[in-house]
Amino acid sequence: MRLRGYATVQGPHIARTQQPLRAWYLNLYSVEGIIMTGFPAPKIIVHSVLICIFSLMLCGYANGSKRGTVALVMKSLANPFFSQMAEGAGSKANELGVKLDTFGLERETDVEQQISIMEHLIALNYGAILLAPADSKRLIPVCKKAASRNIPVIIIDNPLHAPTMKDHGVELPFIGPDNYRGGLLIGNYVKDKLNSTGRVIILEGIFGVENSEKRKAGIVQALTDNSSIEIAAAAHGNWHTDVALSKITELLVVHQNIDAIICLNDAMAIGAMQAVDLLGLPPETLITGYDNTEIVRTELRNGRIHATIDHRPDLMGACGVEKAVSILQNKQSPPTTEITVELVSHESFGKKIAFSVSTTENAFFESLVASAKNAATLHGIHLTILDAHNLDAQQLVDINTALLQQIDLLILNPTNSEYIRSGLETAENKNIPIITVDRKVTEANVLCHIESDNTAGGRLAASYLANHLEGPGYIAEVEGIPGTSAALERGTGFNEELAKHPNLTVQTREVADFDREKAKDITLRLIDSKTTIDGIFAHNDDMILGVLDAYDEKGIVPPAVLIGFDGIPEAKAKVLTKRLSATIIQQPGKMGRLALQTAAGFFRQQPIPNTISIELNLFTQQSATTP
């Protein structure tokens, strides 16, 4: 028997006998499901009979404890967005070794069905429930009932209506995106493409649902701000492709000369595209969606759908499972977890970018490259990683080779800006834009530089040393590659701040080229020379780890204060075990992601800032354990 409207993501220990129970229940509202069960009676009678059967079947195993199981209750399983959510939740459940049962609806409008599912989960006394509500108000009473039975409910994706929750005296944690911001991103994209003039149709989700209302509010705000764009019509497509096809067809017959159709999810964007085709309208009609599903990504590649919003349903599911486990373990967690929203548009699909990185043999740059690859996939960009292995000559060869392959943009993390200048000049002559990351280049026309505030980081290190050394102290500074902006700026900030503390003296400065083994060898020499050192600042974590390696090899206690820079996992672990004092945390993952986001913005002809600075933080054992 083929079952509709049912999917499950199993944790490692879910009983298989539960699968047909859920499958039966999820077919209650499906005519096809009723026919398959062999009931000739009217649908309402069949529904009542099946509810009774379902309840009796539940009683057969209700005595088994479900307190260790988390339930994920979603909306329409026909929507690939929720398939991604289920996959993310299932993967995290397997990772954490928690049982997970997954439930869904036939249609997004089946609110009563979702309420009934919740009622039965409460009867089974589940440990926690993750709920993507089909309605922002009508689910609140049953959520309150679950909470009263000591079953935590975590809302994901679609927030509940805050005033109604307040009226019911219930407050629930939420995991999801800022839908208003997502609406602003889509609205501004459409406004830019229409040059602030034209006529648009907005296709909303279900009436009164919070995420639909907030997306629309953001879109309308963007469209009407300093613009003459006319919103010709708005209608509700209930999140479904077939409804969208019908609604948009009707609206396009009534309203002529429509320049854009803005749909509040991807399923409806597909319906809008089908309506345009059905009526024989120009295929370049601007259509946008929201969800970044794979079917819409295909149409982004084809240029039929122009933009969508990514808001990571897989991450919502994973974060939901994590939060449920934390709550069940009586751990504190923030009431709201915001999932980042990001505009994805067709202009970046198929573009070619080369990313020349100084070295990937370093945890910092591994994270930088990994995040860049993920962002490239998101934006449909073909990304080639070129590893210079910290060799100036190799990076110059890599740049020139990439420029021969007709790339659209170059991202550069330079080994030495002076040595590779000729390659940068070639890129400029070919009108290839350049984005630099972490380290700057000199005398080159760069589209954007993405950096940490290395000077501020150096100051943080000096302040920490001054606060943790009592009385006079002798300092060693282990420097990075001479001529790189990172080494220069970190050293400048460190020494400027240290100058404010006359009781601290820089005993020695040593160049270790950001290399662990070189730092170790230098430190071994300093130990053998019996140089007095009370604190050491290294320009990156690899070097401070090399310093620690040297003291461990000698079997002697290192200086009182050891500070690195980057916040790589190994250094943070050493801080937590008090082997290192502190590290200055950069965000290489954010840098890599921003580099590709900036490139995507350039391809859609957005204004690009000359510099993007990313904040730094001091990581100590105390900061890691302070909420």
In tens, the pLDDT along 464-488 reads 999 999 778 999 999 999 988 899 9
What pLDDT is attached to residue 459?
Answer: 96
φ, ψ of residue 29 to 5 degrees: the values are -100, 10
Coil, strand, or helix at residue 400?
helix
What pLDDT is attached to residue 384?
Answer: 97
Give, as one character, the DSSP assignment of residue 579: S
For residue 304, pLDDT beyond 90: yes
Contact of 61 with 54, CB cutoff 8 Å? no
CATH of domain 18-172: 3.40.50.2300
471 Cβ contact partners less than 8 Å away, ≥ 6 residues apart: 503
What pLDDT is attached to residue 42?
Answer: 37
CATH level 3 topology of 454-585: Rossmann fold (3.40.50)
pLDDT band at 64 (very low <50, low <70, confident <90, very high): low
What pLDDT is attached to residue 454?
Answer: 92
pLDDT band at 54 (very low <50, low <70, confident <90, very high): very low
Single out the residue of 172, 171, 200, 166 nearest to residue 186, CA to CA. Answer: 200
Coil, strand, or helix at residue 134?
coil
Contact of 158 with 209, CB cutoff 8 Å? yes
d(CA 496, CA 502): 12
Contact of 451 with 438, CB cutoff 8 Å? yes
φ, ψ of residue 308 to 5 degrees: the values are -150, 175
d(CA 129, CA 118): 8
d(CA 198, CA 110): 36
pLDDT band at 622 (very low <50, low <70, confident <90, very high): confident
d(CA 563, CA 583): 5
Contact of 267 with 79, CB cutoff 8 Å? yes
Percentage of the residues of the chain whose pLDDT score is greater than 70: 89
- Average pLDDT of the chain? 88
What mean pLDDT comes out for the span 137-160? 95
Check residues 342 and 208 and name the one with the higher pLDDT: 342
d(CA 538, CA 163): 53
150 Cβ contact partners less than 8 Å away, ≥ 6 residues apart: none
pLDDT band at 442 (very low <50, low <70, confident <90, very high): confident
Residue with tokens 């290489």, as numbered in its chain: 588
Whole-angstrom CA distances from 599 to 26, 299, 323, 354, 376 are 44, 21, 34, 11, 9
Contact of 412 with 445, CB cutoff 8 Å? no
Does this model's pTM top 0.85? My answer is no
Q: Kind and range of the H or E element at 520? A: helix 516-528
pLDDT tens per residue, range 408-436: 999 999 998 888 999 999 999 999 999 99
CATH of domain 179-310: 3.40.50.2300
Torsion of CA 237, 240, 243, 249, to 10 degrees: 80
Contact of 203 with 178, CB cutoff 8 Å? no
Please determine whether the domains at 179-310 and 454-585 fall in the same fold group of CATH: yes
Give, as one character, the DSSP assignment of residue 347: G
What pLDDT is attached to residue 417?
Answer: 82
The domain spans of the chain are 18-172, 179-310, 454-585
φ, ψ of residue 505 to 5 degrees: the values are -125, 130
Sign of CA dihedral 289, 290, 292, 295: negative
For residue 332, pLDDT beyond 90: no
For residue 534, pLDDT beyond 50: yes
For residue 15, pLDDT beyond 70: no
What mean pLDDT comes out for the span 255-268? 96
